[in-house]
């Protein structure tokens, strides 16, 4: 299965991080949490949002963005409302890192301006700020997985009390 990496840079809201963790668990994506974070890892809200998926996660924590960069090489795709390209117009290769910024500020413009070709935007109405962080991650994850034809993921469900004809 191709490897997909999700990077949360300085997340602030534990429920968002928990929802992202759940998305990573059910899709097999690796989660990278970059500090400083606005909550502690043992935060009750974080665990509740991720429910019982924490044991299924491949998760790594980093002190700060410099620590993250020192241990990982791209390709990096920066999800931002300021991006020049639609998230569906780029190809996500095996090992791609989808990078998301904090809920109240996004990714620093000083980082974005250094990587204009890697800044992607989820289309939305003019004048609106952005989608919720966990929703944005889900959109990005499933676009990459769609491009990979949902490799090694179950694509057909089963009924519990009935059978499909």
Half-sphere exposure of 158 (CA within 13 A, CB side): 3
| Residues 29, 5 contacting (CB under 8 angstroms) | yes
For the sheet with 85-86, list strands across it. 59-62, 30-34, 4-9, 96-100, 76-79, 119-121, 85-86
The structure tokens listed for 143 are 């676009």
Residue 59 marked as a ligand binder: no
Q: CA 147, CA 93: separation in Å to the nearest integer?
A: 9
Residue 41 marked as a ligand binder: no
DSSP for residue 102 = B
Residues of the binding site: 101, 122
Please state the residue numbers annotated as binding site for S-adenosyl-L-methionine. Answer: 101, 122
């Amino acid at each position: 299965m191709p490897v997909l990496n999700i990077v949360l840079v300085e997340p602030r809201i534990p429920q968002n991080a928990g929802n992202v963790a759940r998305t990573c668990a059910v899709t097999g994506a690796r989660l990278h949490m970059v500090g400083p974070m606005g909550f502690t890892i043992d935060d009750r809200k974080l665990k509740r949002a991720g429910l019982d998926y924490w044991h299924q996660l491949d998760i790594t924590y980093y002190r700060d963005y410099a620590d993250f960069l020192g241990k990982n090489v791209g390709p990096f795709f920066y999800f931002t409302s300021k991006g020049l390209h639609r998230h569906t117009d780029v190809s996500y290769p095996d090992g791609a890192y989808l990078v998301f910024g904090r809920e109240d500020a996004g990714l620093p413009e000083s980082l974005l301006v250094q990587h204009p070709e890697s800044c992607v935007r989820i289309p939305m109405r003019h004048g609106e700020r952005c989608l919720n962080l966990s929703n944005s991650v889900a959109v990005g994850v499933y676009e990459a997985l769609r491009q990979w034809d949902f490799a090694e993921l179950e694509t057909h469900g089963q009924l519990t009390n009935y059978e499909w004809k």
